Amino acid sequence: MLCVYCAIGQRASAVAKAVADLRENGAMEYTVVVVSEGNDPPGLSYIAPYSATSIAEYFMEAGRDVLIVYDDLTHHARAYRELSLLLRRPPGREAYPGDIFYIHSRLLERATHMLDELGGGSLTALPIIETEAQNIAAYIPTNLISITDGQIYLAPNLFELGILPAVDVGKSVSRVGGKAQFAAYRAVAGDLKLAYAQFEELETFARFGTRLDENTREVIEHGRRIRTCLKQPEFEPVSVPGQIAILLALTGRLFDSVPLERMRDAELALRKAATDFSAELVQRLTSAEELDGKDRETILQIARETLAPFQDSP
């Protein structure tokens, strides 16, 4: 895998920090960085993603798998708007020219997978956009959402609460997730998203000091543990068996009796226990096979034994 990072109209300090992080973790050995800073002319900001894509296509045609990150296309759209207004082209919605959708779709549709007889390389595009006042219904966000196969929405209010990564589960969707992910994920995630959505709605009412019945309190406590498990420190990826064990324990409500202050330790213990799964079980989890009842019960039993020391005594 080779990565291309294209910074469009970004502050020099932000780009320097990103490059320093890449270099510190050894990622610069397989990363190409293309930079157009915020004080550069709009023509350079406009051409930067096309230059980065040409570099990525070179490696793709050589048979490499390439990931290109555009950071971000909102600045690219503004640069193109500035150029278009200087050229006296007719402005449209939000003063953007009428062909702004075509500009971005033509760029992103260069991401593809080559046939084996053509080298077998691939190019995956990950565009980043900026929203104003958390409005994902604005012109540029809706354009890009309609082009891509889904979106991950990062919410400022979650960031302010210290929930990192600040992914808004409700507004983040995937139109290919069910086909691209392992079958075991679909089996264990279940109603997790619905349970989390109910929790967020009820938590809002709970802040007003409303008297809550037992069922509502259980939903809120369960949701708090879901949110805690969704937190992830930077540069700490979780293995597939570890993710499935945690998700299955969440849907099985095994974390509900664990105090919130001990959730982090309990999660780490379960992730460590997942490293001892048998090779046959790990192979089935990472294959296209559905998670059968025997494997599910095996994982749940390991989770029960691992989480027992962290649970409150009845």
Helices 100-108/42-61 angle, 10° precision: 30
pLDDT of 270 above 60: yes
pLDDT in tens, 16-73: 999 999 999 999 999 999 999 999 999 999 999 999 999 999 999 999 999 999 998 9
Give dist(CA 31, CA 299) in Å, integer: 38
pLDDT of 209 above 70: no
List phi, psi (to 5°) of 256: -60, -30
Topology classification of domain 2-148: Rossmann fold (3.40.50)
Given this model, what pLDDT does residue 313 score? 65
Given this model, what pLDDT does residue 185 score? 87
Give dist(CA 15, CA 6) in Å, integer: 10
Given this model, what pLDDT does residue 223 score? 93
Pairing of strands 2-10, 31-37: parallel
Q: Rounded to two decimals, what is the model's pTM?
A: 0.87
- In CATH, the architecture of 184-310 is Up-down Bundle (1.20)
Mean pLDDT over the full length of the chain: 92
pLDDT in tens, 81-120: 999 999 999 999 999 999 999 999 999 999 999 999 988 9
Q: Closest Cα partner for 229 from 252, 260, 190, 273?
A: 260
Which residue's entry shows tokens 């009796």?
A: 257
Report the C-alpha dihedral over residues 68, 73, 76, 78, rounded to 10 degrees.
180
pLDDT of 228 above 60: yes
pLDDT band, very low/low/confident/very high, at 192 (cuts 50, 70, 90): confident
- Annotation marks residue 175 as catalytic: yes
**Residue 41: which H helix or E strand, with range?**
none
Given this model, what pLDDT does residue 129 score? 95
Q: Closest Cα partner for 144 from 73, 95, 245?
A: 73
Given this model, what pLDDT does residue 37 score? 93
Active-site pick, 93, 175, 253, 304: 175
Given this model, what pLDDT does residue 64 score? 95
| Coil vs helix vs strand at 111 | coil
Burial of 246 (0-12, 13-18, 19+ CB in 10 A): buried
Mean pLDDT in residue range 259-287: 93
pLDDT of 176 above 90: no
pLDDT in tens, 291-305: 888 999 999 999 999
pLDDT in tens, 253-263: 999 999 999 99
| Coil vs helix vs strand at 35 | strand
Mean pLDDT in residue range 272-279: 94
Sorted by where each begins, the domain ranges of the chain are: 2-148, 184-310
pLDDT in tens, 131-144: 988 899 999 999 99
Higher pLDDT pick, 207 / 26: 26
Helices and strands (DSSP H and E) totals, the chain: 14, 6
Given this model, what pLDDT does residue 231 score? 92
Given this model, what pLDDT does residue 310 score? 93
Do the beta carbons of residue 144 and residue 104 sit within 8 Å? yes
